[in-house]
Structures are given as structure tokens and as C-alpha cells.
Amino acid sequence: MFGGYFDKEFKEPSRLFIKSLQKRKFSLLVSPILKAELLEAPEKVQKLLKVIPQEIILSIEISSESKRLRDQYLAEKIVNEKHMNDAHHIALAAVNDADIIVSWNFRHIVHYEKIRAFNAVNLREGYHVLDIYSPREVV
């Protein structure tokens, strides 16, 4: 979601979503995977995390439970191993009881068939259904 902030096509909804975070309308779960992805992003994208109020940022950790669920997604071939981090984002959200995932990744995350498949595994494994949307849909 952060990369869209500076992208011509996704700029406006991304900025509105960041503003909603600044207004404390949501909490933001931040995992080591997200932090690593931000480190690979341009500096201006990295700085976006700093404009979000720290009190709404919840740090979550990778766990054996999130790895197991991620591996279930891979076993079901929802995504392949090349996109393991995308599966792990979903798993981390599920095991940490997130209500919603917000992403611009239309190929591996915000995709009708993928959402249904992720949630089928979640339900089978005892987790709740996740709502998965683009920033455009939540602002």
C-alpha cells in the first residue's frame, strides 16, 4: 500500500488511506516482512511509516503459527514460493486477528480467486475470514 502513495495511478486513494491512519481510523499491523520490504523501497516510501501515529502501529512477529499457515497457502498453490512473502502477509494478518488487509497487489492478494482461496484455508485451519481490499475501497 505504501508504494502507491507516489504512483500516479494510485496516489489519491493511497494518500487518503494514509490520512485515515493519521486520523486514527485504523490500527496498522507492522511485521518484519513489511519492514524488510520498506527497506528495499525508495527513501520517500520508507519515510511514510514515520508519518503514521506510533500509538496505532502494532508490531507483530513471525511465528511458527504464521509459517505453518503460510505453508498451507503454498501447499494449496494459492501463490507459489516466489511470492511466499505475499502468503506470509496474509498468514500474519490471520493469526494476529486482523480485520482487513489493504494492498495494491492485485495479482497475489487483492484478487477475487486468491481472496476466496486464502479464506477457505483460513476457515479450514480455524481462523476467521479476512476482508481484503485496495485502499480505494476503504477510503
CATH code at position 126: 3.40.50.1010
Question: Angle at CA 136, nearest 5°, toward 132 and 39?
Answer: 75
Q: In 2-107, at which residue ranges do the beta strands (DSSP E only) sit?
A: 28-30, 57-59, 100-102
Report pLDDT for 118.
98
Range(s) of the domain holding residue 115: 2-138
Separation between Cα atoms, residue 135 and residue 129, nearest integer Å: 19
Tens-digit pLDDT profile for residues 11-60: 999 999 999 999 999 999 999 999 999 999 989 888 888 999 999 999 99
φ, ψ dihedrals at 57, nearest 5°: -90, 120
Domain count, the chain: 1
Closest CA to 127 of 69, 71, 61: 69
Q: Looking at residue 46, what is its pLDDT?
A: 87
> What is the reported pTM?
0.93
Q: Quick one: pLDDT at residue 123?
A: 98
Reported as a pLDDT band with limits 50, 70 and 90, residue 90 is very high
CA dist 92 and 60 (Å) reads: 8
